Structure 1
Amino acid sequence: MALSLQHFLSVIGDAVVIADANGIITTWNCAAEAMFGYAQSEATGASLDIIIPEKYRMRHAAGFEQTMNTGKNRYGTSLLHVPAMKRDGSSISIAFSIALVLGEAGKPESIIAIIRDETQRFQEERALRKRLAELGNGE
């Protein structure tokens, strides 16, 4: 059974964002549209900065550049948990994994991120930690 990439991207529940070596979005699926609020036509060709909160952009840019220059991702296969930003400026908590796509010379040509909105889970965990702390203080 052959499954086209386009069909896969349209049916997967997670956001899939692919960016080139310069951090320019080349692929943005419908789950990314729903999660971040940008239509595919708006996101494709834009910088990844559209979903990165401003206070994290410099750190992200440095890590992204190092990954693209070395071909090594310091996080390996770990699931990353970071804040992100929606089109309306609101903040969400995301978890994602990445994979590098290497070119013929073995140098990264693009990066693929599979992203899930973890905002509700993060808020529930925060509330639970707060309640546990309150209980630990005799309240």
Structure 2
Amino acid sequence: MDETLAARLLQQAPDAIIFAGTDGIVQAWNAAAETMFGHPAATALGRDLDLVIPDQFRDAHWKGYDRALAAGETKYRGQTLPTRARRADGSEFYVEMTFAIVKDDAGTVIGALAHCRDITERFERDRQQRRRLRELEAEIERLRGPATTP
């Protein structure tokens, strides 16, 4: 593939795309990642992934990252993973991520690729719907009154 085309695809992709090497250092950060996470590429490149990982998830993230790189495969291949991420201002939000382990021509793992999509609105809407459903179920139970046994 033409390098210019590959660069355009990366930069113009609608989802945030992040690539980090085996050391967890960000090597690719597209325009959608800049918008979503609030870090310009110049700030994100060369930093580790803790840049976007909330503190409470870091330990689990790095264990999973190292395990996937060592195995050369992620257990989330072909799946979306909803999780929380952190913006440049420190606020957390919900994202849906897909992952791939990237290998060179010899099959050696060189890092991990993540595609990220902000799902905060959908997550909050679903949460409100679940809450409302619980309220309605409780109201139905209240209207039925106490259960009687024959």
TM range (shorter): over 0.9
CA offsets, 1:117-138, max 9 Å, x none? 0001000000000000000000
What does residue 122 of structure 2 align with?
121
Query: How many residues are paired up?
Result: 139
Once the 2 structures are TM-superposed, how far is the Cα of residue 2 of structure 1 from its aligned partner?
Answer: 9.2
Matched, 1:135 2:149: no
Which of structures 1 and 2 has the bigger CA Rg?
Answer: 2
Alignment of structure 1 residues 25-40 onto 2, 5 Å: 25-40=26-41
Unaligned regions of 5+ residues in structure 2, if any?
141-150
- Detail structure 1 runs of 4+ shifted over 2 Å in the superposition: 103-107
- Distance in 1 (alpha carbons) for counterparts of 2:77 and 2:3: 29
* Seq. identity, %: 33
What does residue 17 of structure 2 align with?
16
TM-score by length of 2: 0.87
- Distance in 2 (alpha carbons) for counterparts of 1:69 and 1:95: 24
Contact preservation (8 Å) 1:68, 1:107: no
What does residue 43 of structure 1 align with?
44
Corresponding letter in the other structure for 1:15: A
Once the 2 structures are TM-superposed, how far is the Cα of residue 11 of structure 1 from its aligned partner?
Answer: 1.7
Once the 2 structures are TM-superposed, how far is the Cα of residue 3 of structure 1 from its aligned partner?
Answer: 6.7
Once the 2 structures are TM-superposed, how far is the Cα of residue 99 of structure 1 from its aligned partner?
Answer: 1.2
Corresponding letter in the other structure for 2:129: L
- Distance in 2 (alpha carbons) for counterparts of 1:70 and 1:97: 17
Query: Secondary structure in 1 aligned to 2:79?
Result: coil
TM-score by length of 1: 0.94
Contact preservation (8 Å) 1:77, 1:97: yes
